[in-house]
Chain A
Amino acid sequence: MLNDLRLRLRSLFKKNAVEDEINDELRFHFDQHVEKLIASGMSPAESRRRARRAIGTDDQIREQYRDSSGIRFVETLLLDVRYGTRILLKNWKPASIAAFSLAVAMALGVAGLSVFNGIILRPPVAAEPKHLVSIYTTVPASDSHNISYPDYEYYRDNNHSFSGVAAFPEQVSRVPMTVGRLDEAGTVESASDNYFGAMGIRPFLGRFFVPGDDEKKVPEAVLTYSAWKRWGADPKIVGKPVVFMGHQRALTIVGVAPENFTGVVFGFSADVITTLAGNSQTFTQRDNRWLRLIGRLKAGVTRESARADVRVLSGQLAAAYPKEDKDRAVVVSPATVLSSEPDAQSTAELISAVLIALALMVLLIACANVANLLLGLATGRKQEMLIRSALGANRGRLIRQLLTESAILCAFGGTAGFLIASVALAQFSQFSAVLGLFGTFRFAVDFRTNGIVLLMTIALIFIASLATGLTPAIYASATNVAGALSGEAVIGGTRKSHVRNALVVIQVAICTLVMVGVGLCMRSLQNLRDVNLGFSARSLTSVMIDLQSNGVPEAQWPNSYRQLKQAALQLGGVQSCSLALELPLIDSNWSTDGIRVVGASDTAQWNQIPVNTVDGDYFTTLGIPLLRGRAFNSSDSKRAPEVVVINHNMAKTYWPGADPIGKQMHIQDGNRVVTVVGVVGDSKYNALDETVHPVIYYALSQHYLPGLLLTIRTRGNPRFWLQPLSQMVRNHGLQLTFLPFTFNEVMSFSLLIPILTLRVVSVLGALALMLAILGLYGAIFYSVNERKREIGIRIALGAQPSHLLKLFLRQTAIISGLGVSVGLFLGVAATILLRSQFYRISPVEMQVLIPVAVAMILISMGIAYMAARPWIKVEPMEAVRHT
């Protein structure tokens, strides 16, 4: 068999040499024969003639040789490719439209696959990432999945399944800092001292943290490679300090991480990683939950046994510390790049799936386009196919030839698409975005195309070739020799026009579906924008005041806050000023306190209610209406009985039908009793799309806090007060940890994701529309083209051109009507499936479906008119002669 293969390959690659050998062999045979005949007495000329006759056709020998050597397939493939390329070049107009559609659609497909690859498939940067797992807790009532430091220590020290358990907060901060002579704002994350060990990464310069570093007084720092490069790539940076401005802390740089490590938290490009030292006050707070855990499985330990092990440990914790750790189930799951809450993983999967689905739909439209174009080309080559078949080609051979042509188109389009996508995505792998409030963050997500994406692209090209080529190939190779050779034209519709119409229906349906998607995104965004906030967000500017990290002693806090507030009021154009712990829409979670209404039975549960601590001017500054009672005032001091203000929803829930003013509640934390003195209107607290829930406001004068948000209501554009506020704070000798911001920035930040989604889907929609228009135009053009003869005859017989136009328009209306209906049906199905992702969208959203339907039909009619008109106008004689 090897012999066989060797000879076949030799015939393939050294074709000329082999041909020469055959020639030589046959010539030798001929010469010997001639010699023999001469020796037997014949004349040379006669001998030659005889010998030649005996040879027969040596071409036949060569053919037989070639046939039997079985390299026919590859040879014919190469022939097909050459021929196909010639044909495509000859019809370069439709071919380039086809290639263009394919390139665009393939680029989208590749982009979708790369995103999927980048988010889902790529493992975290670590040694043997398959052995890494995430450990976090789930509690039925709350959203927080974090673990406290004492619990982390317990898991770390008492497990039997992990060679290392590390912890890190899922937090990224922008901190102004000084490195050497550079003053910058850097992105800071932190991790436990054993983090790098557990991840199994080796440092690029210097060293990483070692166990024990968390106990030091001052945290140490590791730079990421990108930060090191950006800050001068100093080879002697190890040992130098980096000073955090707000906290006046100098951290020693112990090392630089390798290039592929972008940080602890997915997606963000961090600059500095610090140890957990400096958060030592949390080391004993079992109810302060702020860490995520990541563990490396010991050799031979399965995830299941690790899960069981951790469950035992959490049971022990729950038993030993029922107050803090009861009801906490622990989850162990494989660590992915999104090694965070379970929601992030499934959301990411959903996003990727939707993106890929959309991209594939656009690809389908493009394939239908190309199929239609190839079908159009096939008409013109009917005669060619017939001649080939008459010469002995069987149907399979013809189909193979036509498939080769579509494969060339798809390969070309696919390669172009892949290159376009690679270039575009390479731009994206490092980009920064201004996240309004927090400053400029650099994102590091690796969406670049790689080998895996390339393989998937090749598979796509293969599928596309079949999808586009099979139908035209089957159609074109079905030959009716006699009829077609005699030049009979086909009048009216045929099986081919059914195929073409079906393709158009598919295109229109998919385009409609994508348009419905765009409409849903727009509607959802509009709904979010129109949400009743419950307060007036228009002219608010805020700044974060952190007295504690500025070293102000606790006794001074009331005074400092008062001075700041007065200074703010004295800035020109400030209508009112307030201090509060939380502002709406900034934090996705407010802390909660357990409350129980006084008078309820003692066995009643503690209800967890979100709380905010505000001063007396909070409600007027934000424009939240006071419904009953009063807001906080100067009589609510530390020595006076504790008072609270509640929102309308809480009043309704806990004191239905009664006046809550004067009623009292127990507060679990500290076992206090508070009295309700006021009821305010409901508003949005954490997110634009949340449902309303109870909220309690504490009085700031009874609970001074180390850091607060100072908010002013301005007369005029709030942006003009950003600078004055910074200045004012600095004039009081305080460092700013965060720059001031307006509430408009908060609003746009909340709307960031819906806006981004709308943009992406709109781009896809525009592409889908463009391809569908191209396809529709092409299909109608060719269809009318085919029926030229018929049109000419009809006009010659007296038909009005406008009549014929109406005929075509009616036919188009039926087809696109069918397509739009299918598309709308699919659109409703998609809405039902994806409803949870949108805001206040009903399953049959008329405001979206109707405009889309109308638009699609109008566009189809317009295209039909434009495509058919030139042919209708033509001279009858011209039309008939054109065949």
Chain B
Amino acid sequence: MSDTSLNAQSLPGDAELKDYFALLKPRVMSLVVFTAFVGLLAAPVSVHPFVGFCAILFIAIGGGASGALNMWWDADIDAIMRRTVNRPIPAGKVSEGEALALGIGLSGLSVMMLGLATNWLAGAMLAFTIFFYVVIYTMWLKRWTPQNIVIGGAAGAFPPVIGWVAATGTFSVEPILMFMIIFMWTPPHFWALALFMRSDYDDAGVPMLTVTHGRKFTRLNILVYTVLLAALAIGVSFTTAGGPVYIVVAVVLNALFLKGAFDIWRRDEDMSEADDFAVEKRFFKLSLLYLFAHFGAILADAVLLRTGVIG
């Protein structure tokens, strides 16, 4: 007896390379790459360009590995949420086992290679970051508490610290300030997303603040966290991490961010529905520019300092 049936549809195991790449959450990786790059270049120690390139590459791969493991664990809720239904696992292109193997393999590779390329403190920090994102945030906090994004946001805040440590081998106040900026930025960024994704998180049973405490309370928290973030971000201007470019960027962008948060707080659901959450979506887009601009400014000041333009 012979089996001549050959199913032309893709089966798990027949995914293309781009499907495996999609598992790594490339858009999140771009943020990891950029902030780690800034941390590395802002450090007061010169690194061989090839070593620096490898450090950023393996930090990015570690970030991607975290993404793959997150998609492995959250495959059930990804299949329910509109935002994530086309991810490789719910779309049937990659199996859960493949995602798990890829995540674990890339985690091990990235940690080992970062440690060998730079130093073992940086490797250990990358390992801890992967552990924090996958175990603490994805497996534990995300489905358990509405503070999931507040605490879990720390995972996204580690890359600039890893970049700094990769260059210097030690900690300092500057990378901790960079960590704090991303840490305080994460809640308003994701809560704005939750506001205009409406029932997506509710349908999946994820305890986002919009679901557990209501949307009005979420709007208030966006404002509160934005005020705290603005105070921190502008306060960084007066430390060694700040500089002339940073001061200008911080003042302008935090003023815009505060206005956006205030507008979100003042609105109610009827107003938001009427314009399809235009203010919330604008705030979310601004939050992306906010983070890239702040870290771009830190980088610009570091370059100006290194080249002797500023003292």
Asked if A and B are interacting partners, one says no
Q: Which residues of A contact B (CB under 8 A)?
A: none
Q: Which residues of B contact A (CB under 8 A)?
A: none
